[in-house]
Structure 1
Amino acid sequence: MNPIHPIDVVLRKRDGHSLRDEEIHAFIRAIVERTPERQLVTDAQIAAFLMAVFLRGLDARELATLTSVMRFSGDTFDATPLKTFTVDKHSTGGVGDKTSLLIAPILAAVGLAAPTLEGIPGICVPMISGRSLGHTGGTLDKLETIPGFNTQLNLQQLAETLKQCGAALIGQTPRIVPADRTLYALRDHTGTVESPFLITASIMSKKLAESLNALVLDVKVGSGAFMPSYEKSKFLAELMVQTGETSGTRTVALLTSMNEPLGRFSGNWIEVWECVDIMQGRRHPVSRDLIELSNILSGWMLHLAGRASTPEEGARLADQILTSGDAYKAWLKIIAAQGGDLSVFENPASHHKPTASRILKASQSGYLASMDCKQVGWAVQRLGAGRAKPGDPVSAHAGIESHVKLGDHIEEGQPLFTLFSEDASLLDEPEQMLQNTLVLTAEPPVIEPLIRETISASGAQP
């Protein structure tokens, strides 16, 4: 067989042809095997490939092949020795989206990686998470505000933590899906980030590398979503469900509203604080949407794992686990196993130490009708809680507290947001951004439901 040259692969996709499986294999293998001394494929060729996919798309077979090749481009986690049902959740990213911090201990409290019901295996959640970028937050940045907590476990340590705790919260290791590291970095510099095909291959290759039996996807829609329209978010959800099911992993996607920050806090430590409060039985009214969404996502995971006959029953079970304190016990077990200092949870509010804060108050009365949630996310980022590019440091204590939710009636002078930073000079621009994006009306607005649609192998359900 004639050798396959990277430029030939680029040209075939550029011209609108479907790539053969062996061409996709050869291109990804060249990315993974290249060294500074032996450039099997150049950055320019990879960038051209990304743009060709962005413009021409991929058919179902091409996408399944690309995802599979990326998945097996490095180490994969083998959960078979644990003899459990392996399930995870992934969010496409949002503002104040901290559901992972509640979902992992909820599922761990049910499963604890050991059979607890006759004939039904235990549950384990090998949750590989990411960092903040742009207007969206990152689970790893939140977790690393816990003193001593180690997110960089190797696969053996991951297996040991899952066996002991039922869940683990870690970052992607250098050897898990190494092809994605190269592709992801170049997507950010080539204007190809928004390609639903490249997003699907990136997300699903990493999740499927966890050896999952089931996956629940939280695909955001609305002003704070990554995708620019509802239709494109739905198309992305359908692609990911199709790709997961093709690989043999039960996959469900929920299209969820991201028109305002989720819950009470948006930042890093303050989001951990909010979740600890909930697990300790303190439910702030502004956290109600966070609790509801965490229960719904957990309910789907429990249903797919055979612990609930319906997702609704699973959601009720999840809320019982939160209320009983069992999720908090599981949380402490996970944090301790990964080296975290448990003493910070005795009084999580006292661990929040911003050096500057400011309250944004309403200039008039009315109903809070809308906001550009993406702008709110950028305000959080510019307070110091996020990063403009990979590798930037983030502040543990910067962020915002939301005092109101969409649809609330507000009186003139009422607090809307409290801004936190570790640098007082960073408060002015975010305050103005928040002020400019809030819309108050005389009449109550129509608020979209938290769950817009559910996508599964059997189709879509409103």
Structure 2
Amino acid sequence: MTEPIYPIDILRHKRDGLSLSDAEIQSFIRGVVDHTTSDAQIGAFLMAVWLRGLDARELATLTQTMRFSGEVFDSAPLHAFTVDKHSTGGVGDKTSLLIAPIVAAVGFASSPRLAVPMISGRSLGHTGGTLDKLETIPGFRTQLSLKEFAEVISQCGASIVGQTPSLVPADRILYAMRDHTGTVESPNLICASIMSKKLAAGLNGLVLDVKTGSGAFMSRYEDSKHLARLMVATGEAAGTRTAALLTSMDEPLGRFSGNWVEVRECIDILKGIRHPMSADLIELSNILAGWMLYLGGLAATPEAGTALADEALQNGSAYKAWLAMVALQGGDVAAFDDPAALHKPTATRILSAERSGYLAAMDCTEVGWCVQRLGAGRTTPGEPVSAAAGIEMHAKLGTWIEAGQPLCTLFSDDASLIDEPFTMLRRTLQIADQSPVRQPIVRSIITAETLR
């Protein structure tokens, strides 16, 4: 007869640096899902993993147990190579809104056929969530059943949804708790969270955008590289072709950071409007989409895939795919006729440069917290977020700024929320006489071959 496993014993074992057995990990996750494990015990487990780490076997078991903690998506009826992209998160990181329609536009009517089943999350730490952005579109539904998810993909080639109670329920619970227990940045927990969702979506290919720099959850390059290697190894071991791109996050990506304002920026790009401040966003989105097209066999090289992605943006086919996906998920596409007219903030303030010089540095995470404190992020699980709140950057690192020139504009639904982030931005946006040395947007690439 099998002896019972108690949560307190599991916590003690990991607290003391012991390796947890498969049975212990499986028992704990079962308790998370059936709510017999308390929030206090979940928080203690997360902190113990943060402090003590997991070995390769523990991480594999945790990921697989989370993956199969509920239903899994059967992608076989789509008769397509299913491919997705995931970012570890950054400020203004809205590439999913562009990549899903780009790959659907290029790949869904092609041979081999590509489809994008994308399962995304909500705000975590200083980072806004893709679902929060999409839900600023009137009527857009992010909570679909797996049957509805498949129906949308079968008609337009892509769908972006959240974790329903039936899909990876263990991660849905742990994800929310990480945000409020100081354990967001754990590489093991990030890996298990991301890969359990992606593997549950029945993916054939996965491209990971692993951020590094002052705005990333892992600011040190070596830490980001370690996480990337963990995830590539986990994906490949599960039979999913996986590549990770380590990308720079030393400043907000693109022009806007927030919720609706980020959707607005992507709509402009999909319509062919290319604001100079969106150049880095367009470049990275095309690169990531190019890798997805390459893994799916539609491009001989990632570079050829990048060219196909940009062509889809320029010829309008990506915008058509976007409109189709939004309409199929209940969204009002008429909102895109004049996106600047929707979700107007009630309070704005411009931060201008106090001296001339180059925009030389910033703590990008601090900028992210400013966005959160303007109302675009959460302080407690389930808290509503503002559609209008956010920041518009008027300069990139290395730009020459004249005294009095606007550096950024702050938006909020509550004028009383602007003072603190305004002061924070004044402190962190640094102007100097020398132009900074900038990192390339893609710093390195990890694939199964580079793991060997």
Give the TM-score taking structure 1 as reference length: 0.94
Query: Displacement, 1:110?
Result: 1.4
Secondary structure of the structure 1 residue equivalent to 2:3 = coil
Secondary structure of the structure 1 residue equivalent to 2:358 = strand
The letter for the 2-side match of 1:374 is T
Supply the distance in 1 between the matched residues of 2:291 and 2:404 (Cα, whole angstroms).
41
Query: Displacement, 1:141?
Result: 1.1
Which residue of structure 2 lines up, in the alignment, with residue 377 of structure 1? 368
Say whether 1:457 aligns with 2:448: yes
Secondary structure of the structure 2 residue equivalent to 1:70 = helix
Which residue of structure 2 lines up, in the alignment, with residue 173 of structure 1? 164
State which of 398, 403, 406 in structure 1 corresponds to 2:389.
398
State which of 47, 53, 56 in structure 2 corresponds to 1:57.
53
Which residue of structure 1 lines up, in the alignment, with residue 322 of structure 2? 331
Supply the distance in 1 between the matched residues of 2:177 and 2:168 (Cα, whole angstroms).
15
Which residue of structure 2 lines up, in the alignment, with residue 30 of structure 1? 31
State which of 193, 197, 202 in structure 1 corresponds to 2:193.
202
- How many residues are aligned here? 451
Deviation readout 1:8-56 (Å, 9 max, x if unpaired): 433433343333323322332233234xxxx3x4444444433332232
Deviation readout 1:393-425 (Å, 9 max, x if unpaired): 111111111111001111111111111111222
The letter for the 2-side match of 1:262 is L
CA contact (8 A) 2:163 2:172 kept: no
What does 1:315-326 correspond to in 2, within 5 Å?
A: 315-326=306-317
The letter for the 1-side match of 2:341 is S
Given the superposition, is the C-alpha separation of residues 209 and 350 from structure 1 closer, same or farther in structure 2, using an over 3 Å criterion? same
State which of 104, 108, 120 in structure 2 corresponds to 1:108.
104
CA contact (8 A) 2:124 2:184 kept: no
RMSD of aligned Cα (Å): 1.7
Which residue of structure 2 lines up, in the alignment, with residue 81 of structure 1? 77
CA contact (8 A) 1:4 1:26 kept: no
Which residue of structure 1 lines up, in the alignment, with residue 21 of structure 2? 20
State which of 116, 119, 122 in structure 2 corresponds to 1:128.
119
The letter for the 1-side match of 2:124 is L
Supply the distance in 1 between the matched residues of 2:391 and 2:13 (Cα, whole angstroms).
48
Query: Displacement, 1:57?
Result: 1.8
Supply the distance in 1 between the matched residues of 2:183 and 2:348 (Cα, whole angstroms).
37
Given the superposition, is the C-alpha separation of residues 299 and 150 from structure 1 closer, same or farther in structure 2, using an over 3 Å criterion? same
Deviation readout 1:272-323 (Å, 9 max, x if unpaired): 1111111111100000000000001001100000011111111111001101
CA contact (8 A) 1:4 1:23 kept: no
Supply the distance in 2 between the matched residues of 1:74 and 1:230 (Cα, whole angstroms).
35
CA contact (8 A) 1:215 1:301 kept: yes
Supply the distance in 1 between the matched residues of 2:64 and 2:414 (Cα, whole angstroms).
45
Supply the distance in 2 between the matched residues of 1:426 and 1:49 (Cα, whole angstroms).
35
Supply the distance in 2 between the matched residues of 1:336 and 1:183 (Cα, whole angstroms).
31
What does 1:203-218 correspond to in 2, within 5 Å?
A: 203-218=194-209
Secondary structure of the structure 2 residue equivalent to 1:87 = strand
Supply the distance in 1 between the matched residues of 2:341 and 2:32 (Cα, whole angstroms).
47
Deviation readout 1:199-257 (Å, 9 max, x if unpaired): 21111111111000011111111111112422211111111111111111111111111
Supply the distance in 2 between the matched residues of 1:354 and 1:420 (Cα, whole angstroms).
6
Which residue of structure 2 lines up, in the alignment, with residue 143 of structure 1? 134
Secondary structure of the structure 1 residue equivalent to 2:334 = helix
Deviation readout 1:321-355 (Å, 9 max, x if unpaired): 10111000111100110111111111212224111
Which residue of structure 2 lines up, in the alignment, with residue 238 of structure 1? 229
Which residue of structure 1 lines up, in the alignment, with residue 239 of structure 2? 248
CA contact (8 A) 1:453 1:460 kept: no
Given the superposition, is the C-alpha separation of residues 420 and 51 from structure 1 closer, same or farther in structure 2, using an over 3 Å criterion? closer
Query: Displacement, 1:91?
Result: 0.8
Larger deviation, residues 388-397 vs 311-320 = 388-397
Which residue of structure 2 lines up, in the alignment, with residue 289 of structure 1? 280
Given the superposition, is the C-alpha separation of residues 196 and 419 from structure 1 closer, same or farther in structure 2, using an over 3 Å criterion? same
Supply the distance in 2 between the matched residues of 1:161 and 1:199 (Cα, whole angstroms).
28
Query: Displacement, 1:138?
Result: 1.1
Which residue of structure 2 lines up, in the alignment, with residue 410 of structure 1? 401
CA contact (8 A) 2:121 2:163 kept: yes
The letter for the 2-side match of 1:5 is I
Given the superposition, is the C-alpha separation of residues 408 and 66 from structure 1 closer, same or farther in structure 2, using an over 3 Å criterion? same
Supply the distance in 1 between the matched residues of 2:4 and 2:187 (Cα, whole angstroms).
26
Given the superposition, is the C-alpha separation of residues 346 and 188 from structure 1 closer, same or farther in structure 2, using an over 3 Å criterion? closer
Unaligned segments of structure 2, at least 5 residues = none
State which of 215, 219, 229 in structure 1 corresponds to 2:220.
229
